[in-house]
Amino acid sequence: MTRPIPQLGEKHLTATVYILTSDEPKRTLLVHHKRFDKWLPPGGHVEFGENPYEAALREVREEAGIDVTSYFPTMRQADHHASFLPLPTYLLEERIAASSNEPEHFHIDHVYLVHVPHSDVAHDPNESHDIGWFTHEETLTLPTFEDVRMSLKEIFEK
């Protein structure tokens, strides 16, 4: 007897970028997310016509005002039919609770890690409540999700 596949709800592609400084002390860039009221790495939905790699680069530009393109591996053209995309560090499926304007759904999050020199960032109040660079110790007391806390522990230990 076969079991029916459970209905899991709608799934959205998203892209997230953990940005870690290459200089000491190591710091990561986090934004204070408006809807979740938590500190998260820059990221968001993959828009129509984008792949997750392109969305990751766009989200960092929009949310932090910095261009991290030169610190990412580049897409490689196989032929006129296909390109190899840079691999994410993690693939994460996240359950997103229903809100007043959206039903419960899932994110299939392509999570990238990039190392950059420390730089100034530009906070856009349309994107988040706040933005900042944090050491690992500082991130331990910030309100965030458990998967973010686990990811931060791993990336700071690498």
Can you give the residue ranges of every domain in the chain?
11-157
Its pTM stands at: 0.89
Report pLDDT digits (tens) over 17-49: 999 999 999 999 999 998 889 999 999 999 999
Report pLDDT digits (tens) over 95-147: 888 888 888 889 999 999 999 999 899 888 888 899 999 999 999 999 999 99
Closest Cα partner for 68 from 115, 23, 109? 115
Q: Which residues of 64-91 are buried (b: 16+ CB within 10 A; e: fewer)?
A: bebebeeebeeeeeeeeeeeeebebbbe
Q: Does domain 11-157 have CATH number 3.90.79.10?
A: yes
